[in-house]
Amino acid sequence: MKPKSTKTAKLVGLIRPEVRALKAYRVDETPVRIKLDAMENPFSLPGSVQKQLASVLREVKINLYPDPSGKELKESIASLWKMDPDLMILGNGSDELIQAIILAFGGPVLVPVPTFAMYEITSRALAQPVVTVPLGEDFDLDAGTLIKKARQSKARVIFLASPNNPTGNRFSDKAVKKILDNTTAAVVIDEAYYSFSGKSWLPQLNKYPNMIILRTLSKIGFAGLRVGVLTASPGIVNELNKIRLPYNINSLSQAAGVSALKHRTVINRQISTLISERKKLYNVLSRMPGITAYPSETNFILLRTTSDASVIQKKMKGAGILIKDLNGPGPLKNCLRVTIGTPEENREFLRTLKTILDTA
Ligand code: PMP
């Protein structure tokens, strides 16, 4: 958007240059038939659960501020994921917790490439330097290079999304352990996709006081609630709590989260379906001519096409199916990311992709 007048232009000039230099995190808002671009859980809750949720929400006193620490929701999540509620901080999505970590520690912030874009965007917005380290073969971490760069740059925080977005793989335990053992920086292990891999660094929290674990309710069916969670050693939790905005989780999200998390069987069934759908989708995609599919421990699959991926993504969108175009120079050349949908959505995605590739 162009500024309207010289007066506005001058005002915009007052905004910190780091912010003006940023590119906004782009969300495609095109209305589509099948939305497979944002790692949402495609299943809604059964009618009886929705009714229960509605009656809980009716009682929420929205004239009052929410519980400032989200105690009850913390306890629900603690019981779901075997965390210590006293060592947890809730965020308005894990995005907010990423921001709190960078705000508290400051940079240099070290990130592997490619990874989740918000680590770099938020660091830049907060005027903190970013150091990047390319992922190695099979998109695993090159621990030696990463440790060296962290030392040389005096990195204060390292973000490791494992499983990683957008590559879909979980970083090898050996590489992560080597990094945890050989850096003085805080190591954030972002386990946003934990439920689809089932493997976690959480049991090692006592052993590594420099480790911070992030999780989110977004990928398991509650993206609209905006609830992320952080757990770390008491010293880190104490400091981060100082900069957390008061009342950052609204009362409707707190109440809905507590109510929804009571239905573990429903949630687990949806996750199992998505995992088995991922396997089916991967099997078909990895045999499809013109496509390389990367193994995934998440609720999405990274694809590389032999022809122009952006053209394919546009054609898919034209057919009413939205997937993420990651195409650009570098390691994601001709890459697309598809979220696992319902069985019907996945079949329709495969059918449409095949037609597009056949007629290219
Ligand atoms: N971490 C990773 C690795 C992600 O992929 C995402 C969402 N795409 C997030 C964090 C943010 O999740 P939320 O803010 O919805 O909790």
Q: What confidence category does residue 360 fall into, taking pLDDT thresholds of 50, 70 and 90?
A: confident
Going along the chain from its start, the domains and CATH numbers come out as 27-45+265-358 (3.90.1150.10), 47-262 (3.40.640.10)
Q: Which atom of ligand 1 is nearest to the CA of 166?
A: 5
Helix 71-81 crosses helix 251-260 at what angle (to 10 degrees)?
30
Tell me, using a 6 A CB cutoff, whether residue 41 lines ligand 1: no
Mutate to test the pocket of ligand 1, among 27, 118, 169, 340 (most ligand atoms within 8 A of CB): 118
Mutate to test the pocket of ligand 1, among 89, 194, 218 (most ligand atoms within 8 A of CB): 218
Yes or no: say if 132 and 159 are a contact pair by the CB < 8 Å rule.
no
C-alpha distances (whole Å) from 237 to each of 183, 262, 345 are 20, 26, 41
CA distance 139 to 116: 13
Cα end-to-end distance, the chain, whole Å? 35
Yes or no: say if 219 and 245 are a contact pair by the CB < 8 Å rule.
no
Per-residue model confidence as pLDDT tens digits over 127-149: 999 999 999 989 999 999 999 99
Q: Which atom of ligand 1 is nearest to the CA of 94?
A: 16
CA distance 100 to 94: 10
Per-residue model confidence as pLDDT tens digits over 225-253: 999 999 999 999 999 999 999 999 999 99
pTM for the full predicted model: 0.96
Tell me, using a 6 A CB cutoff, whether residue 228 lines ligand 1: yes
CA 95–ligand 1 middle distance (angstroms): 6
CA 286–ligand 1 middle distance (angstroms): 26
Nearest alpha-carbon partner for 115 in 76, 59, 165, 181: 165
Mutate to test the pocket of ligand 1, among 165, 213, 214 (most ligand atoms within 8 A of CB): 165
Per-residue model confidence as pLDDT tens digits over 35-91: 999 999 999 999 999 999 999 999 999 999 999 999 999 999 999 999 999 999 999
Q: What confidence category does residue 26 fall into, taking pLDDT thresholds of 50, 70 and 90?
A: confident
Tell me, using a 6 A CB cutoff, whether residue 96 lines ligand 1: no
CA 104–ligand 1 middle distance (angstroms): 19
Per-residue model confidence as pLDDT tens digits over 264-298: 999 999 999 999 999 999 999 999 999 999 999 99
CA 94–ligand 1 middle distance (angstroms): 6
Tell me, using a 6 A CB cutoff, whether residue 217 lines ligand 1: no
Q: How much is the pLDDT for 22?
A: 87
Q: Which two tokens stand for residue 308?
A: 């122009």
Tell me, using a 6 A CB cutoff, whether residue 188 lines ligand 1: no
CA 307–ligand 1 middle distance (angstroms): 29
Tell me, using a 6 A CB cutoff, whether residue 91 lines ligand 1: no
Q: What confidence category does residue 2 fall into, taking pLDDT thresholds of 50, 70 and 90?
A: low
Q: How much is the pLDDT for 317?
A: 97
For CA atoms 147, 153, 159, 161, the dihedral sign is negative
CA 313–ligand 1 middle distance (angstroms): 22
Residues facing 213 on adjacent strands: 189, 231
CA 292–ligand 1 middle distance (angstroms): 25
Per-residue model confidence as pLDDT tens digits over 7-23: 888 899 999 998 998 88
Nearest-5° Cα angle at 322, 317 to 324 = 110
Give the number of other Cβ atoms within 10 Å of residue 355's Cβ.
12
Tell me, using a 6 A CB cutoff, whether residue 116 lines ligand 1: yes
Q: Which residue has the tokens 């620490």?
A: 69
pLDDT over 60 at 3, yes or no: no
Per-residue model confidence as pLDDT tens digits over 170-198: 999 999 999 999 999 999 999 999 999 99
Tell me, using a 6 A CB cutoff, whether residue 121 lines ligand 1: no
Q: Which atom of ligand 1 is nearest to the CA of 223?
A: 15
Kindly report the average pLDDT of the chain as a whole number. Answer: 96
Tell me, using a 6 A CB cutoff, whether residue 230 lines ligand 1: no
Tell me, using a 6 A CB cutoff, whether residue 39 lines ligand 1: yes
pLDDT over 70 at 216, yes or no: yes
